[in-house]
Structure 1
Amino acid sequence: MQLDRISTSVFQASVYLWKLAYINLIWILLTLSGLIVFGLYPATVAMLTVIRQLSEQEDLPIFRTFWTAYKKEWTAANKLGLFLTIGLAVLYADSVFFEAKQHEAIGLFYYPAVIAFWMLLMTGCYALALQSMYKQTTIQLLKNGFLMAISMPVSTFMLITGTGALLLAISYLPWLLVFYAVSLWGWLLHFAAGMAIAKTKKKQTVLQP
């Protein structure tokens, strides 16, 4: 009986790992099909949609669900992505500029720029997760993503440390980049965002569906 349970668990884990590899491959293909610039954000939102639905439905038609979400969220995801890309690029350039300056007064702006960069990055991660779950405007996604980033430190810390651990693993196992890197990060984001949303609802924080 115990051996049967172990065999079943191993089989289920193998199937789920295969699905994650398949999701990762589809994400790569659809990102490339949008010439990366226009495919990155819709493919990421679609991936998060698939991962969320896969947790609720084992026999989910993965490619069809992915493709449907990709087409549906293409415009909205790129609007959100445009804002995030410009914002992150500006803050990154600011941090490099302030770090390079030797003048003490100007150098003081370096740390605020770095903090703002990471806050926007976390806000963007949560906003992408929210877009895969709710129908919201870009402003609502960013507002709610920011509230989640600052009010749910445990989920945010888990997301940051988990992402760091994944990047470290990739540095030692580069093949993960092809087969699992993005889908594992998507699963991590889905889990962290799910925790944050559950706590947000419990605290009766405003989160418009």
Structure 2
Amino acid sequence: MLKSSAGRRLYFITDMLFQFIVLNVLWFLFTVVGLVFFGVFPASIAVCYLMKKRIVEQDNIPIFSTFWAIYKQNFVRGNILGVLTAAVSFMLYLDFQIIQQFNNMVVTIFGIGLVIVSMFLLITIFYSLPLISITTDSSFKVIKNAFLLGVANPVVTLMIFIVILSIRVIYGYFPTIIPLFGIMPLLLTFTVAFHKSFNRLEQTI
């Protein structure tokens, strides 16, 4: 029984790692197909959907055809989300540069405010990618719901930040694995965290 259980766990881990590699290749290729900027968000959304189905729900759906279908389906909505994210990020960057010109008190006060806004932006992105893959809502509604979901589940959101830092440390020690897995661990973290938060919200309604 122990050997069988250990064997199943080993199979699950190796299968998940293999899927990470396949999804990373698809994510890279379709990001390039979308001229990088216009491909990165639709490709990330497709990965989140496949991770939900194949890893979270253990549904053995085909990878390539599903990836392509979700990529096409969410190309416009994904790029709206991407453009809004880029615009807000650029404005925050400019604000950070501007406040550097003032005295220490102004830098401290406005700097804290900008850090808080940046964290809310990250939270919204964390939850938007898996959310947009399972809904037909507009990008703006997805952004609103993702933000509310992230704020309503601070413990899960904090765990996301901790996992991100952990992945950063692991990649720092083992940079050779980055080409194999890329941002797949991050997208899996977003997907699992989103569904935990979403399920918890459903249970309270």
Q: Structure 2 length normalisation: TM-score?
A: 0.92
Q: Which amino acid aligns with 1:53?
A: K
Q: Which amino acid aligns with 2:114?
A: A
Within the alignment, does 1:193 sit opposite 2:194 as a pair?
Answer: yes
CA gap of 1:100–1:129, structure 2 versus 1, over 3 A, is farther
CA gap of 1:104–1:7, structure 2 versus 1, over 3 A, is closer
CA contact (8 A) 2:53 2:60 kept: no
Residue 175 of structure 1 aligns to a residue whose secondary structure is helix
The alpha carbon displacement at 1:58 in A equals 4.2
Cross-structure match for 1:77: 78
> Once the two structures are superposed, what CA deviation does each residue of 1:89-115 show, in whole Å capped at 9, x if it has no partner?
211321233245326346521110111
CA gap of 1:168–1:106, structure 2 versus 1, over 3 A, is closer
Count of aligned positions: 204
CA gap of 1:21–1:110, structure 2 versus 1, over 3 A, is same
Cross-structure match for 2:29: 29
C-alpha distance in structure 2 between counterparts of 1:190 and 1:85, whole Å: 21
Q: Structure 1 length normalisation: TM-score?
A: 0.90
Flag structure 2 segments of 5+ consecutive residues without an equivalent. Answer: none
C-alpha distance in structure 2 between counterparts of 1:100 and 1:175, whole Å: 40
Cross-structure match for 1:174: 175
Q: Which amino acid aligns with 1:80?
A: L
CA gap of 1:110–1:136, structure 2 versus 1, over 3 A, is same
Cross-structure match for 2:132: 131
C-alpha distance in structure 2 between counterparts of 1:8 and 1:195, whole Å: 24
Cross-structure match for 2:162: 161
Task: Spell out the pairing of 1:19-168 with structure 2 (5 A cutoff).
Answer: 19-54=19-54, 55-102=56-103, 104-105=105-106, 107-168=108-169
CA gap of 1:107–1:5, structure 2 versus 1, over 3 A, is closer
Residue 175 of structure 2 aligns to a residue whose secondary structure is coil
CA contact (8 A) 1:44 1:128 kept: yes
C-alpha distance in structure 2 between counterparts of 1:110 and 1:44, whole Å: 30
Q: Which amino acid aligns with 1:38?
A: F
> Once the two structures are superposed, what CA deviation does each residue of 1:39-95 show, in whole Å capped at 9, x if it has no partner?
010000011011111133443211111111111110110011111111122113212
Q: Which amino acid aligns with 2:18?
A: W
The alpha carbon displacement at 1:143 in A equals 0.9
Flag structure 1 segments of 5+ consecutive residues without an equivalent. Answer: 205-209
CA contact (8 A) 1:25 1:178 kept: no
